[in-house]
Amino acid sequence: MELIDTHAHINVEHYSADRAAVIERALAADVRRIINIGYDLPSSQASVALAQQEPLVWAAAGIQPHYASSTTAADLATLRELLQQPKVVALGEIGLDYYHDRAPHDQQEALFRQQIELARELSLPVIIHSRDAHTDTVRILRDAAQDYPGVMHSFSGDWEYAQACLDVGFYLSFSGPLTFKKAVELHEVAKRAPLERILIETDSPYLTPHPYRGKRNEPAHVRLVAEALAALRGVDLATIAAATTANAERLFTRLKGNSP
Ligand SMILES: [Zn+2]
């Protein structure tokens, strides 16, 4: 059995004391690949560096909407270079964040669209972060990324929003909150979404699943997300592992062929 954690941030300082042990535990939990995600230029650079040094790790690079006001043309040129490095499989995470709301919405949209364009030029799939911005996210994706390969990372929302994302052609990626008893809306989405459009992730160090809630998350726990998905859909863990791994390889085409 093979699991892929399609979204983690293990380059961050939370893991500086025990990163090797974290990767060992992931392996022991059948996690064979981890996609480490950048959210600004320094984290994207760290992500690519980590991927080049760890056989289990692949990288994504991108600039989150928080930095929409300060991102320059030179930054985008640096990002373009990074995206062409070995083991980079996607552009992300990018999108809109009206919850933290650290940049004006028109600037968030502009940076989002610029990076979708960059992804198209480099033929890379996109990883979308959307918080409290569902309507605008769907509007922009319909306009700029209809049928373009991409994933709604750590999906949260109701079935109607899920359908809109599926209609754009995107995958839905589930994370720790799927294991929470009270996440009824999310459970419904996880039951109804087509199996061939589902991914799993941890978003480590955030969104720790039950029963480790409140502690630091880590890629090994993607297995708990897969187990929750299996229970909700009434299938076994091996079925979920096989499907989500195949889905990740279909979306992130550069993941294929170099499995350690
Ligand atoms: Zn993330």
Q: Has residue 258 got a pLDDT over 70?
A: no
Ion ligand 1: residue ranges with CB closer than 5 A: 203
Closest among 38, 40, 32 to 2, alpha carbons compared: 32
Q: How far, in Å, is the centroid of ligand 1 from the Cα of 246? A: 21
- Cα-flanking dihedrals φ and ψ of residue 171, to 5°? -85, 155
Q: What is the pLDDT, as a whole number, of residue 257?
A: 55
DSSP string, 65-121: GGGTTT--HHHHHHHHHHHTSTTEEEEEEEEEETTT--S-HHHHHHHHHHHHHHHHH
Q: How far, in Å, is the centroid of ligand 1 from the Cα of 39? A: 7
- Cα-flanking dihedrals φ and ψ of residue 173, to 5°? -110, 125
pTM for this entry: 0.97
The pLDDT-based confidence of 256 (bands split at 50, 70, 90) is confident
Q: Has residue 239 got a pLDDT over 70?
A: yes
What domains does the chain contain, in order, with CATH numbers?
3-255 (3.20.20.140)
234: Cβ–Cβ under 8 A, 6 or more apart, which residues? none
Q: How deeply is 113 buried, as exposed, middle or buried, from its count of CB atoms within 10 A (0-12, 13-18, 19+)?
A: middle
- Mean pLDDT for the chain overall: 97
Q: How far, in Å, is the centroid of ligand 1 from the Cα of 230? A: 23
Percent of the chain at pLDDT > 90 equals: 98
Q: What is the pLDDT of residues 45-86, one digit of tens each?
A: 999 999 999 999 999 999 999 999 999 999 999 999 999 999
